[in-house]
Structure 1
Amino acid sequence: MVKNVKWFFVVLAISSLISLSFDKKKTLTDELPVGKLAPEVVLCNETKPLNLQSAQGKYTLLSFWASYDAASRVKNAKLNHLAGNDARIKIISISFDRYESVYRAAIEQDGNDSGNCYWEMEGENSDIYKSYGLKNGFTNYLVDNEGVIVAKDVTADMLASLLD
């Protein structure tokens, strides 16, 4: 009887490992590939969507971040400073901080232009968070004048080379 129970647990453990190895999780790349139309961005405290389309020849940099995620905050600040004064790039920076006071303090500390920064008050429960697949981590998207994603997870160096 004890021998049968041991084999039962061995078989159960092996079958669990096999089933986990076939579990395919969606990655950010699968959800929003380059070339796809960027989903509409409607903040829960706004009545109309943010316009991802811009004038002919211009790009929109859509940057997602939160102050509790240091890497996304640093990347957002660098991109804001680089693109902030360039007429060829329109930046839309969206924070998923839980409290508006934390968001405002981060914007001030980082020296970002508050005119292109937005706070999504529903955070991880928002439609934006879900439609952009941010459960896999904060990132950014470079969108052309027609709203099509042309690059994602853009670094300051990549953006600088694009602008040169």
Structure 2
Amino acid sequence: MIKSVKWFFVVLIFSSFISFSFEEERVSAETLTVGEKAPELVLCNQTQSLDLRAGDGKYTLLSFWASYDATSRVKNAALSKEVRDYDRIKMISVSFDHYASVYRQAVKQDGIQLPESYVETEGANSKAFQAYGLENGFGNYLLDSNGVIIAKNLDAEELSSYLN
């Protein structure tokens, strides 16, 4: 009886090691850290990427959101209103709504008036979603003129302090 219990535990431990070796590597939001260059931003599998550089001495705020995520939507609307007061920053707003009509309605309701506002209808399956590790929630990135991340997940007040 004791021999069979020992073998059971040996098999259990061995199978645990095997299962751990086959787990997929997951990209988390923490893989993109301050000081790193932001990944290329390609939406809807287009061949041309969006330019994340804003020019000398300027910043780019890259904001990811979706109309079904109330927190990200409110934060995106507040940030878009904040950037209107500054010439030194451009904001790129990316929604992960599956339907462009839902995205357009949310932009209209939230009063977002940005020249660079996009919808990525592929959602979590998109290259952008995966490159920026958004499976743990939406967020934003403040980039310097070279496309290097200098801050993450800012609210409107924190953004204002960076720009002053």
TM range (shorter): 0.7 to 0.9
Q: Could you say if the C-alpha distance between residues 113 and 47 of structure 1 is closer, same or farther in structure 2, counting changes exceeding 3 Å?
A: farther
Distance 1:32 1:152 in 2: 9
Structure 2 counterpart of 1:90, one-letter code: K
Number of residue equivalences: 158
**Is the Cα–Cα contact under 8 Å of residues 97 and 120 in structure 2 kept in the other structure?**
yes
Distance 1:118 1:64 in 2: 10
Gap regions ≥5 residues in structure 2:
none
Within a 5 Å distance, the mapping from 1:62-81 to structure 2 comes to: 62-81=62-81
Instruction: Provide, for residues 3-27 of structure 1, a one-character-per-residue CA deviation record: whole Å limited to 9, x for no partner.
Output: x78xx69x96xx97xx99xx99654
Deviation of 1:156 (Å):
1.0
Q: Which runs of 4+ in 1 moved over 6 A?
A: none
Matching of residue 122 in structure 1 with residue 159 in structure 2: no
**Is the Cα–Cα contact under 8 Å of residues 140 and 153 in structure 2 kept in the other structure?**
yes
Distance 1:131 1:27 in 2: 10
RMSD: 2.8
Structure 2 counterpart of 1:102, one-letter code: V
TM-score (norm 1): 0.83
Structure 1 counterpart of 2:100, one-letter code: E
2:136 maps to 136
2:29 maps to 28
Matching of residue 158 in structure 1 with residue 158 in structure 2: yes
Instruction: Provide, for residues 84-123 of structure 1, a one-character-per-residue CA deviation record: whole Å limited to 9, x for no partner.
Output: 3421110000000011110000000000015221001211
**Is the Cα–Cα contact under 8 Å of residues 65 and 72 in structure 2 kept in the other structure?**
yes
TM-score (norm 2): 0.83
**Is the Cα–Cα contact under 8 Å of residues 45 and 121 in structure 1 kept in the other structure?**
no
Deviation of 1:162 (Å):
1.5
Distance 1:114 1:80 in 2: 7
